[in-house]
Structure 1
Amino acid sequence: MQRRPVGTSGLEVSRIGLGTMTWGEDTSPAQAAEQLRAFVDAGGTLVETADDYGDGTAQQVLGGLLRGTVARDDVVIAGRGAATAAADSPAPAGRASRAALLRSLDTTLRRLGVDHLDLWQFPGWDPRVPLDEMRSAVQVAVYSGRVRYAGLVAPRGWQLATVAAGAAAGPDPAVCRPVSAQLEYSLLAREAEAELLPAAQYHGLGILAWAPLGRGVLTGKYTDGTPADSRGASTLLASYVEARRSERSARIVQSVLTAADGLGTSPLVVALTWVRDRPGVASAVVGARDAAQLRASLAAEDMTLPAEIRTALDDVSDPV
């Protein structure tokens, strides 16, 4: 699998990443182990996790797999916190103070059983906490060896620009400058193109795109209803999927289905390839229930969309 730099930083990641949101809940530890093996065997490196995935269960599952299924050095771990603290975290929910951020980081490291995160992603804005205090948390984390690089989670364009510009003007820009922005991005969710993506490119941040399959809707599985074994039918994720189902979405999905038929591939591969190769995207992060679903996503590694199909998908999904 090809690797890309994250923005203008020295950090490199696989251009398809592995998400762990459902690990320990919809995805059993055994299924997670099979996924991680398949991902690393295919050359994947970026594994994304967060302290609120299953109230910490996902991180515990991943930590167990790092102690036997794959080697720690085989993966680039992107951890996220602490906008919403997990149940066993001492960090107050919704706060990005230095104390809350560092406690959340230590909780994540303990669950994973590792001494550092390759990428630590934190909320881009908390109006109750000075930005200098948030930057100081990054400084402490990097200087102590607990973090290699820092990034932002779902900021607005002006927030990203404020944080990046402030870090560049601070006392230690090489340490405190964010290198990435993680956000939802797909043919069904292109709102970030208005301000956030241009701001990220201007300030040298790479994009980690989550839900590149439109929360599963772009696979075409919901065209004729909700399959009983799908995420849309699960208690945990039904509302998450439903938010991406609409008349507009149906038109976009039909275009993806048509493109996939013409290319002799799956709609999943078409939708994932479209996101993966958008300007500024360092990696498209996919989640899967089992290894079979993950391998279907990894098939996108061999696909490049023809210009005319990419243009057609751009037009039909244009958010304007």
Structure 2
Amino acid sequence: MQQRAVGATGLTVSRLGLGTMSWGRETDEHEARDQLIAFAEAGGTLVDTAAGYADGASEEMVGRLIGDVVARDEIVIATKGGISRRRGERETYASRGRLLADLDASLRRLGVDHVDLWQVHTWVDGVPIEETMTVLDHAVATGRASYVGVSNYTGWQTAQAATWQRAVPGRAVLASTQMEYSLVNRRIESDVVPAAAALGLGILPWSPLGHGVLTGKYRNGIPSDSRGASESYGRLIERYLDTRCQGVIEAVAKAADGLGWSMTEVALAWVRDRPGVTAPIVGARTAKQLLGALGVEELTLPPEIVAALDDVSED
């Protein structure tokens, strides 16, 4: 698998990342092992997790597989801090104390002395940006993280954070921003993409398959055994089944038919090769689903197909 630099840094990762949000929840350790084996055999290096995924179980599972399935120095571990369900409800935070506690807990669960990329999971109103950014400086200065980034920051938030870090020599420059980005959600193109380009951040798109709708599995309704059938996830899926998104889905299906590809491959190839993108993060419940995505490595969309998909998916 081809490797790409993460923004204007020396960190390089595979141009497809392995997402582990379902690990420890919908994906058991047997399936997780099979996924990591398939990913590593395909040349993948970027493994993305978070302190808040499955209340830490995702990181624990990644940690148990490191050294067993793949050597520590053969993968790039990216994790995030700032979201938890500690009190039974989702909460966000970006204070120095909470973030440092998250980072130390992540290192314990992962069984490592440092992570390659540590990201603030989300912006939190009311917390001074200088406080949040000093945590990133501390993480790098103490060797807990090699590189740092942000996630789910708007364009102005991204620009403010990145500019703050570049204002004084010695601060930890932001390497990346992780944002939702797909053919059915191109909102970041208006602000985050230009900010990232101007300030040297690599973009790590999450949900590059539009929460699964771009695979085609919801074209004829919501299967009873899919995540879309659950009450919480079903509401999210419905947002991507309006008239506009249906048109995008059918265009992806048409392109896939014409090329002899899967819809997954068309959707992934499109977002992977967008300006500024380093590596889409692909999360799969099963190894079979992941294998269906890994085939995209050998594929590149023809320019005329890219133009057609750009046109039909434009907001």
TM superposition score category, shorter chain reference: over 0.9
- Could you tell me which residue of structure 2 aligns to residue 79 of structure 1? 79
- 2:65 matches 1:69: no
- Could you tell me which residue of structure 2 aligns to residue 183 of structure 1? 179
Asked whether the equivalents of residues 178 and 205 of structure 1 are also in contact (C-alpha less than 8 Å), the reply is yes
- 2:216 matches 1:213: no
Which one of 125, 136, 155 corresponds to residue 134 of structure 2?
A: 136
Asked whether the equivalents of residues 52 and 86 of structure 1 are also in contact (C-alpha less than 8 Å), the reply is yes
Asked whether the equivalents of residues 123 and 152 of structure 2 are also in contact (C-alpha less than 8 Å), the reply is no
Report how far residue 135 of structure 1 moved. 2.1
Asked whether the equivalents of residues 17 and 282 of structure 2 are also in contact (C-alpha less than 8 Å), the reply is yes
**Superposition RMSD on alpha carbons, in Å?**
1.7
Instruction: Report SS of the residue matched to 2:184.
Output: coil
Q: Distance in 1 between matches of 2:162 and 2:185?
A: 24
Amino acid at match of 1:87: R
CA displacement 1:71-90 (0-9 Å, x = unmatched) = 111211110111x234399x
CA displacement 1:248-274 (0-9 Å, x = unmatched) = 111100000000000011011000000
- Give the gaps of 5 or more residues in structure 1: none
Report how far residue 160 of structure 1 moved. 0.8
Report how far residue 233 of structure 1 moved. 2.1
- Could you tell me which residue of structure 2 aligns to residue 162 of structure 1? 160
Equivalent pairs counted in the alignment come to: 314
Instruction: Report SS of the residue matched to 1:286.
Output: strand
Runs of at least 4 residues off by over 4 Å: none
Q: Distance in 2 between matches of 1:85 and 1:265?
A: 38
Q: Distance in 1 between matches of 2:309 and 2:40?
A: 31
Counterpart mapping for 1:1-320 below 5 A:
1-82=1-82, 84-87=83-86, 93-123=91-121, 125-173=123-171, 176-234=172-230, 237-319=233-315
Q: Distance in 2 between matches of 1:113 and 1:66?
A: 8
Instruction: Report SS of the residue matched to 1:256.
Output: helix
Report how far residue 139 of structure 1 moved. 1.6
Asked whether the equivalents of residues 6 and 206 of structure 1 are also in contact (C-alpha less than 8 Å), the reply is yes
Q: Distance in 2 between matches of 1:285 and 1:215?
A: 12
Q: Distance in 1 between matches of 2:208 and 2:94?
A: 27
Amino acid at match of 1:98: R
CA displacement 1:11-44 (0-9 Å, x = unmatched) = 1111010000111111111000000010001000
Q: Distance in 2 between matches of 1:314 and 1:41?
A: 32
Report how far residue 58 of structure 1 moved. 1.1
Report how far residue 279 of structure 1 moved. 0.3
Q: Distance in 2 between matches of 1:137 and 1:70?
A: 30
Q: Which moved more, 1:120-129 or 1:52-61?
A: 120-129
Asked whether the equivalents of residues 85 and 104 of structure 1 are also in contact (C-alpha less than 8 Å), the reply is no
Amino acid at match of 1:269: E
Instruction: Report SS of the residue matched to 1:152.
Output: strand
- Percent of aligned positions that are identical: 50
Q: Distance in 2 between matches of 1:243 and 1:27?
A: 25
- In structure 2, do the counterparts of structure 1 residues 124 and 93 end up closer, same or farther at CA, with 3 Å as the change threshold? closer
Report how far residue 97 of structure 1 moved. 1.2
Q: Distance in 2 between matches of 1:180 and 1:271?
A: 22
Amino acid at match of 2:86: A
Asked whether the equivalents of residues 48 and 77 of structure 1 are also in contact (C-alpha less than 8 Å), the reply is yes
- Give the gaps of 5 or more residues in structure 2: none
Report how far residue 70 of structure 1 moved. 1.5
CA displacement 1:37-82 (0-9 Å, x = unmatched) = 1000100001110111111111111111114122111211110111
CA displacement 1:157-205 (0-9 Å, x = unmatched) = 11111111111112414xx211100000000000100111001001000
Asked whether the equivalents of residues 13 and 45 of structure 1 are also in contact (C-alpha less than 8 Å), the reply is yes
Instruction: Report SS of the residue matched to 1:282.
Output: coil
Amino acid at match of 1:150: V
Instruction: Report SS of the residue matched to 1:18.
Output: strand
Asked whether the equivalents of residues 92 and 122 of structure 2 are also in contact (C-alpha less than 8 Å), the reply is no
Q: Distance in 1 between matches of 2:43 and 2:252?
A: 27
Asked whether the equivalents of residues 51 and 86 of structure 1 are also in contact (C-alpha less than 8 Å), the reply is no
Instruction: Report SS of the residue matched to 2:8.
Output: coil
- In structure 2, do the counterparts of structure 1 residues 235 and 126 end up closer, same or farther at CA, with 3 Å as the change threshold? closer
- Give the TM-score normalised by structure 1: 0.94
Q: Distance in 1 between matches of 2:199 and 2:262?
A: 35
- In structure 2, do the counterparts of structure 1 residues 115 and 235 end up closer, same or farther at CA, with 3 Å as the change threshold? farther
- Give the TM-score normalised by structure 2: 0.96
